[in-house]
Every structure is written in C-alpha cells, then in structure tokens.
Amino acid sequence: MLLSIFVLGGGVGVLSVHHYTRDDFPSHFIFGSATSAYQVEGAANQDGRTPTIWDTFAHAGHAHGHNGDVACDEYHKYKDDVQLMVETGLDAYRFSISWSRLIPNGRGPVNPKGLQYYNNLINELIKNGIEPHVTLFNFDLPQALEDEYGGWVSRRIIRDFRDYADVCFREFGDRVLYWTTVNEPNVFALAGYDEGEGPPLRCSTPFGVLNCNTGNSTFEAYLAAHHILLAHSSAATLYRTKYKDKQHGFIGIAVYTFGILPQTNTEKDILAVQRVHEFYVGWILDPLMYGDYPNIMKINAGSRIPAFTSAESKQLKGSLDFIGVIYYTNFNVTDNSDILKRKIRDFDADMAAQLAGKQDLFSEEEYTVDPWGLQQVLKKLKLLYGNPPIYIYENGQRSQSNPSLHDVSRVKYLHEHIGSVLDALRNGSNIRGYFAWSFMDLFELLDGYESGYGLYYVDRNDPDLKRYPKLSAHWYARFLRGTTTSRIGTIQLDKDPSLLSLAHLFQ
C-alpha cells in the first residue's frame, strides 16, 4: 500500500513535480547539520570556562530571560548526540569552539579540561564517520577581553584571535580539515555595534534599537568588522605558513546572506538592491577576495570605514578557501538616498536603502518557503567571486518551540531549499555541502528557547533534556538514506515501516 501522506501549506497550487534523491548530488557532496558552542554546550560555569559577552547579554535578560548556562548540555551529552547524528545519517557536524572554555580569559594558558572536551567530541565524531566542520568564533568573545580592551573594537584582538586559532590548529588540526574563522561577521558587527541588539550591546542614539549607554553606531560596526577581517586573514596566513603542508585543511568565513528584490521596478530601487548586496555581503567578502571594501561603502562611509594598508590588503586578498553561506529568507529593498544628506549616519544610512521587514529578522515567525533567494545568492557569489567553493552552513525553518514534533513547514522548507541547491549545482555552482540549522532546538540569540529550528526537539521540562526526533529529522534521515523526495510536498512512507508509527502525526 502506498501511504502518501500529506499535502502542505494549505493547498498546493502548481504541482512543479521535482523529485530528487541524494544520488542526484555529486558523490563528494556532504550533508550535515549545525549548532554553536554557547547555544548547545551548557556547563557554562564548569571545568574552567569563563563568561563571554554572550553570557553577559543573555544574563541581562535580552533573550526572553533565558540563557545558555545549561542549554542542551551537549558538554555532557555529546556521545548521545553523536549517536543521533549517526541515526540521522549526517556526513558532517558543524559546531563551534568556545574560546573561553579552551583559553579562559582569552589569552594565556590552555585549559586542559576544555582541550579534553573538544578532543573527545572530535574523536567521537570521527570514530563514527562524521566530519567535523569547526567555527572558531560564534559571537562568544571571552568577557575578559571585552573588559580589558573593548574586544573587537581594538586592534589588540587580532593577535589574541590569531593565538587562539593557533592553539586550535595545533591541537585539533590533525583531525579537523574545515575551519571557519568567524560566524556571520556582518550580523555580529551590526547587531552588536550599530543597532545594539546583540552582544556586546554597543550603540549610540539615535541609531540603537535598545538604549545603549556605550559605543558609537556611526563607526563601530565598521571598526569591529575591520578587525574581524584582519583577524581572519592573520589566522588564515598562520594556517597556510605553519600548518597547511601537514594538515591539508581549508579556511573559510560564514556570511549571513538573503535574497533581495527591488520593491518597485524603478532604477532607483534596482540600484538600491546592488548597494544592499555590497553593504551586507561585499563588505566581508570583497576584502577577502579582492583586498578592499566595495567602492560604494568607501564613498558613502568616508573616513568612518577604516582603510587597509597595502600590506593588509595583500594579506587579505585570497585568504579564503571557501565561503560559508548562511541563508534563511528574503527581503524587499527600497531606495532611501535622501538619507545621505543627513549629517550623522550609520551603516543603514550609508547604505541608503531600506529593507522591508528587517525588524522581523529575529522574530518568532516562520519563514515563507521561497527558495529563489538562495539561488540568487549562490548565483551572485558564483559570478562575483569566480565560482568559489561554497558550504551552505546554515539554512532552516524557524517555528515556535513546540513539542508536537509535527514540523511540516520545516520539512517543506528543507525539501525546497535542498532542491534549489541541486538546481544551482546543475547550473555549475561550486557548492560542496549543505548543513541544516539546527541539529536540535537550542538557545537562539534573541528568542532564547521560545523558537526552535531543530531537527530534534529538546524537552526542557525533563531534567535529562531528552531529545525527540521531529518529522524533519525523519525526513532528512530518509533523504540521506536515498529515498526519493518530491517537490509537491508528499512523503511516501510505504517503504519504511519505522516511519509508519509516525502516521498519526499527519492526521
């Protein structure tokens, strides 16, 4: 009996039948899932870890009063989690290292317990055939460095970051081949230093979303990103000169991207789309590919955006082996050139464009399932940067954290987006892998535990924080085992008796 289960999204109009299987992807293409340290590890005050700017932010109540003190307790449950990854059929797991767990206070001696934890996790992954993809910095700067010299707004961060990266390459590089220096530097800089809605909560009136009492929105986001870029290229150069010959790994950075449409078909809005791309994505990738910021940023921001020396520019250029793409959704853009007449400006004003719905970036709403934006991003990166290797490091559907496990819209979202990756591959994009965000429901930056992107639900009322597979975990596992998946949104459960027990979920 063919048990053809559900039709999604309240009436599917066009039946663009697009079946695909895992075998349609190149054999070297990898599928994984992702998390980050503060969002899953817990054990925040254990075994020598010290607080980070993200701990401080959460404890000040900015994530619905939630924090990552316990999170998913992956610090103690990593073996069980790796078994779940095996059951799901993941090729790879993307996680981040907590700087202040490995090197408490950010600089100086390595914490043996922190070292042990990451060695254990990496060994457990490798023993189970799962490739580690490791991020070095995911918003969680050691608070000690923030207190000492202002963290990313000081040039001193470049050396401390490089030394931290050196420890990671030295200790783990015999087993880790894929390194991301920094996660979403564009979002981190804007949220943390311009809008003041993310750690370390710096901004100035009239620009901040929250009332910041420290910082300066007119230039600190540019400054923080500048130091991130220099820290990246410094670590990448170190890797290439000291480790690459022995370890043969790759260095990337992970950039937040989105699809962009002009609100109207006027030249003004079309040019605004171009500016938005340059301000959000070119800001980070142009220096790493070509050695300098996009021209329009230098023109509009003037002396508020720092300049690279020619030596820095030379070191930056080509310091990326791959681009990590973070993609969730799309925005419309309207021209806002009049704002350039304003005397005091910040990043948004310099961009002279407005993103419709930008304030909803972190809301709890579900994303509309509209994968053209991912294709647009992939196509742009291919054209602008000479078809570089790409890992899609985050992509997933947000929903309210919900114990029903019936995450139909996430299944539909993943299905459509993985399908659009296949289209882009067939068009010649150099995409090497896809990672669903997130492996389990975890501590989100602003939503805390109110929203969840996870393939696995974590029961926070259970002291043991038991994980339960959602429909999406089953769907992903079936896809990874080679089952055909079809774009019209049906899942065929006939061939897998283990899934029949799920049938009740669809009624």
Ligand X SMILES: *[C@@H]1O[C@H](CO)[C@@H](O)[C@H](O)[C@H]1NC(C)=O
Q: Which residues are catalytic?
A: 184, 394
Stretch that binds ligand X, among 7-15, 30-38, 422-430, 497-505 (CB under 6 A): 422-430
Stretch that binds ligand X, among 241-249, 288-296, 346-354, 419-427 (CB under 6 A): 419-427
- By CB under 6 A, tell whether 373 contacts ligand X: no
- By CB under 6 A, tell whether 356 contacts ligand X: yes
Helix 471-480 vs helix 408-426: angle between axes, to the nearest 10 degrees?
Answer: 30
- By CB under 6 A, tell whether 216 contacts ligand X: yes
- Identity of the residue, 98 or 263, whose beta carbon is nearer to ligand X in the bound complex: 263
Instruction: Fill in the DSSP letter of residue 444.
Output: B
Helix 220-238 vs helix 185-193: angle between axes, to the nearest 10 degrees?
Answer: 150
- By CB under 6 A, tell whether 236 contacts ligand X: no
- By CB under 6 A, tell whether 261 contacts ligand X: yes
21, with CB counted inside 10 A (0-12, 13-18, 19+), is middle
Please give the C-alpha separations between residue 14 and each of 22, 255, 411, 421, 486, in angstroms, as whole numbers: 24, 33, 18, 20, 13
- By CB under 6 A, tell whether 383 contacts ligand X: no
Name the one residue in this structure whose structure tokens are 């697009």.
18
Stretch that binds ligand X, among 104-112, 163-171, 278-286, 420-428 (CB under 6 A): 420-428
Stretch that binds ligand X, among 67-75, 172-180, 257-265, 281-289 (CB under 6 A): 257-265
- By CB under 6 A, tell whether 483 contacts ligand X: no
Q: Could you give the CA distance from residue 180 to residue 167 in angstroms, rounded to a whole number?
A: 15
Taking the complex as a whole, how short is the minimal distance between the CB of residue 460 and ligand X, in angstroms? 34
Q: Which of 218, 401, 451, 485 binds ligand X (CB under 6 A)?
A: 218
- By CB under 6 A, tell whether 384 contacts ligand X: no
Containing 162, the helix (H) or strand (E) segment is helix 156-172
List the one residue out of 86, 97, 2, 84 whose CA is nearest residue 40.
97
Taking the complex as a whole, how short is the minimal distance between the CB of residue 192 and ligand X, in angstroms? 16
- By CB under 6 A, tell whether 329 contacts ligand X: no
Q: Which amino acid is at 372?
A: W
- By CB under 6 A, tell whether 274 contacts ligand X: no
- Identity of the residue, 288 or 421, whose beta carbon is nearer to ligand X in the bound complex: 421
List the one residue out of 216, 218, 208, 194 whose CA is nearest residue 343.
218
Stretch that binds ligand X, among 43-51, 122-130, 259-267, 400-408 (CB under 6 A): 259-267
State the first-to-last Cα distance of the chain, in angstroms, to the nearest integer.
17
Strands (E), 42-184: 92-96, 131-137, 178-183
- Between 424 and 463, how does the x/- string for binding to ligand X read (CB under 6 A)? x--x------------------------------------
Taking the complex as a whole, how short is the minimal distance between the CB of residue 122 and ligand X, in angstroms? 35
- Between 178 and 207, how does the x/- string for binding to ligand X read (CB under 6 A)? --------------------------x---
Token representation of residue 21: 């299987």
Please give the C-alpha separations between residue 98 and each of 42, 159, 333, 455, in angstroms, as whole numbers: 11, 17, 36, 23
Residues that bind ligand X (CB under 6 A): 204, 216, 218, 261-263, 332, 356, 375, 379, 423-424, 427
